[in-house]
Structure 1
């Protein structure tokens, strides 16, 4: 359990850094001069991306709070199980936030069609890179008889 917890914390540190950068970028956008010129769709995309990024950030930070509140309470198994669930949820929310940001930025810079292509491309890349690649590796290790703990 200690090794699992340490590995989970390392993964959360990487995710947290990326989310902090993305969220910081989103928080700064309304203070830009051109922000008042965005369309209602772009405003909706912006607010959606911000809400999802904030939720993802809180979700990824939750296991650290769990640990602080349950420190030395013999709850390591629960911490690992719940930390894993929150890490997975945080990654899923991160994917949604990244897709919405891509849609927003491409829509603002190149137009509606480019925004739609960008969001579709990000969704495909997330599915392939974040889920497809590990599932292929898992399947390959199962076929080869290698355990995948």
Structure 2
């Protein structure tokens, strides 16, 4: 289903499960040249972390500085939906493309459905033709 290596999906899943009953979040980074991937979990700084996620500004800045120093770029944002489907919600759309254009171009979104602390399903979305659509579509 996913094109991400199993070890990356395992790391993402562990972080999302550990965040339960709140939404977990983070990013995947790819090293320029080698293509090596790494996951970078982030703290959920949303006002209501049970139903939304937001990166803490200082952590997002640290990720950007790290990525620059390591010749990496963010290729995917991941987060969980607590006791809900792994679908790209209206809230996700408002945060990812608040003015109808993605804030992070060429970055996909991996969403994990977490029920009772366990990842049950993961789906990925990418920007195509003016909207976020399932990567499987």
The answer to whether TM tops 0.5 is no
Larger radius of gyration: 1
Query: TM-score scaled to structure 1, two decimals?
Result: 0.23
Query: TM-score scaled to structure 2, two decimals?
Result: 0.24
Give the number of the structure whose residues are more often strand, by fraction.
Answer: 2
Give the number of the structure whose residues are more often helix, by fraction.
Answer: 1
